Amino acid sequence: MSIDNLWSPDNWLGILLRLCLALLVGGMIGWERQLRHKPAGLRTHMLVSMGAALFVLIPLSIGKNENSRDAIDRVIQGIAAGIGFLGGGEILRENQQEASKPEIHGLTSAAAIWVSAALGTAAGCGLWQLALIGAFMSVFVLRVIKELERRSRK
């Protein structure tokens, strides 16, 4: 069995690998957020990532016709737009806790949820290299760049 057949959305092993990858890449971001005691942590990011993977796996698994590409494009657009509601809820939730301060909080958490959805989409499409590289780069931004920001404020 070649690597291409292994990742195929046409068999249960390919589906399992794609969904496990989605859980892994979502979990990488979620674990970082969990360590920082953010409300959207490990489980949230894993579920968002796996949900995005499931949404793209549906048209991939259903059809191999000329409309398949168009269906996948529409699903990805829907994921990108729809996930904004989760991110918007995170920002609003953060703001309601500190009503006396007119500051915006939760933007990074909202962005992390959005990226988790993108990583899950990549995993669902079988783009495992893109999903893994994106996950490592996201953790780099959330960890290393956060530390650089903290040091620049001192």
Q: Domain residues of the chain, as ranges?
A: 3-57+67-97+104-153
What's the average model confidence in pLDDT over 14-18?
93
- Tell me, what's the pLDDT at 4? 64
20: confidence class by pLDDT, cuts 50, 70, 90: very high
Q: Are 116 and 45 contacting, i.e. CB atoms less than 8 angstroms apart? A: yes
- Averaged pLDDT score across all residues of the chain: 86
| Between residues 109 and 28, the one the model is more confident about | 28
Type of residue found at 100:
S
**CA gap 18, 142 in Å, rounded:** 24
Judged against a pLDDT cut of 70, whether residue 99 lies above it is answered with no
> In this structure, which amino acid lies at residue 13?
L
pLDDT value at position 54?
95
pLDDT of residue 119: 97
